[in-house]
Structure 1
């Protein structure tokens, strides 16, 4: 009997010891980040889409990466050219596309009808990217630019990746590069084979459900709405900076060079808690997009 006492003493001590604190999630780390870790997105780089049914989506425009196409998009929005625009294509596990479904409208006045192929650029063209320590299937080097964008590349060249929620410019066959009058967003598994083949001009940062949860089209094997009545009408597309101050939504991004950002990457690659018993030690670039949050103005 005396030999059992140490065992029971150890058992009691183990039961009394506090459980280790749960590992914080990436979302919790971002939420606790100081104000200095966040950068405000310029209202000139926010494109607002109001649908006729009351839903809204907001796109962060990648003006530093596709300046000619984004300039076109701003001109098109301000001209009212999109006043009768619709969502006319929703292809399952691929894209939702909107613009002129008739393909009969003349281009908006004042735009560049043949913008350059803004598909790739020099690796450090937008500042020294914070390295992504996890491997990628489509690029030998990936990271995050100081202005808040995930990028892929090879150390010499750099490009934006076709991740969920990214927005691109629909185009015809090369050398056409699209004007920006018809846009699409990725609503399924990241079609990274499109990287460097189409100009990416932004990222949906709010209201993604208004674009991803629509009925799928069946036309042409491309998800086109065969009946024009299926098309989803758009009430307004506007640059947020052009709205009255009281109506402007505002958003911030977590600065990739803030110390907490590295912790969010690690938390996504090696998730904690009792459910995840085996750490992954890796994460796809499209699963570590820079956090964005809405803020009061």
Structure 2
């Protein structure tokens, strides 16, 4: 035997009896496959005391409030909803690629509806202390904050150096309109982001929650033709039947809705499935995802669910 062949023969003898081909490697699960395999503990039911039902002719919009970030504003909003403040009002603004806004349609200088028992003056709640917040950071960099991730089911950001955290202006975020002064909001004028995420508004305005269901009923509204997307004629405004706290709605009439928790290994896997798409259609995983490109799944709980 020639010496040059000896290493090759030894290697062949030690080689496994089979070959694993690249196309036989386990295929990563898709987002839907991950959700299909979820457990009841991966989901949470909305708190009726922190859930708003915005009722339009087209149907219901469900909004989850964020008392951990804006307790004063959420308290006022609860009072306004409980006392029927918005009932019979209207959506008065729909600005293309920006926001939909509702509240008292009275023009500046005209009498406005009483706030009832709600407070007329609230502090600005642009951020909060990050200490004590269950924050789950994304692995990717963000242009608007040192860290971004999720806290209690809301897209959020934080600055470890200053020790502050805040909600992010992602699609579906609900904020409280204000005047020039930082503390000029009372929670009666609310808006929803329905376009490209205007993150420049972060820490400049109080975010009070986000739409978790029915966003399509707001995003399809006709755009206003006036400045900033305001409707120029009363007939263009979109009537609001009512805005109620879910806690004030009979249980049988509440939306049976659960939201995927954002503090579980399953959610981490869902994020990764969106961050690096490995569906057959994708040829190159991105290796990055923007905070506002992560949608939080919702579902109607199955009949056999014990949660």
CA distances 1:127-180 after superposition (whole Å, capped 9, x unpaired): 3x12211221111111222x2222112112110000000000011111333111
The structural deviation recorded for 1:280 is 0.5
Matching residue within 107, 112, 125 for 1:105: 112
1:177–1:198 Cα contact (<8 Å) kept:
no
Q: Distance in 2 between matches of 1:106 and 1:296?
A: 42
Q: Distance in 2 between matches of 1:230 and 1:28?
A: 43
Unaligned runs of 5+ in 1: 1-12
Name the residue aligned to 1:25.
30
Find the residue that maps to 2:91 and give its secondary structure. strand
Name the residue aligned to 1:176.
183
Name the residue aligned to 2:52.
47
Matching residue within 278, 282, 285 for 1:276: 282
Name the residue aligned to 1:208.
215
Find the residue that maps to 1:81 and give its secondary structure. coil
1:43–1:239 Cα contact (<8 Å) kept:
yes
The structural deviation recorded for 1:49 is 0.9
Matching residue within 182, 199, 205 for 2:206: 199
Matching residue within 208, 225, 229 for 1:218: 225
1:49–1:56 Cα contact (<8 Å) kept:
yes
The structural deviation recorded for 1:198 is 0.7
Q: Does residue 133 in structure 1 map to residue 155 in structure 2?
A: no
Unaligned runs of 5+ in 2: 1-17
- Tell me which stretches of 4 or more aligned residues in structure 1 moved more than 6 Å: none
Find the residue that maps to 2:63 and give its secondary structure. strand
1:122–1:157 Cα contact (<8 Å) kept:
yes
Find the residue that maps to 2:86 and give its secondary structure. helix
1:29–1:260 Cα contact (<8 Å) kept:
yes
Q: Distance in 2 between matches of 1:175 and 1:161?
A: 17
Q: Distance in 2 between matches of 1:130 and 1:295?
A: 25
Name the residue aligned to 1:37.
42
Matching residue within 111, 117, 122 for 1:115: 122
1:30–1:254 Cα contact (<8 Å) kept:
no
Name the residue aligned to 1:167.
174
Residues matched between the structures, number: 280
Q: Does residue 82 in structure 1 map to residue 89 in structure 2?
A: no
The structural deviation recorded for 1:18 is 8.1
CA separation of 1:296/1:199 partners in 2, compared to 1, >3 Å: closer, same or farther?
farther
TM-score, scaled relative to structure 2:
0.85
The structural deviation recorded for 1:268 is 0.9
CA distances 1:81-108 after superposition (whole Å, capped 9, x unpaired): 2122101100000000011111531431
Q: How well do the aligned residues superpose, as a CA RMSD in angstroms?
A: 2.2
CA distances 1:40-71 after superposition (whole Å, capped 9, x unpaired): 221111100111x2422110111221111111
1:177–1:199 Cα contact (<8 Å) kept:
no
**173-182 or 204-213, larger mean C-alpha shift:** 173-182
Q: Distance in 2 between matches of 1:294 and 1:102?
A: 38
Find the residue that maps to 1:74 and give its secondary structure. helix
Name the residue aligned to 1:236.
242
Name the residue aligned to 2:6.
none
Find the residue that maps to 1:175 and give its secondary structure. coil
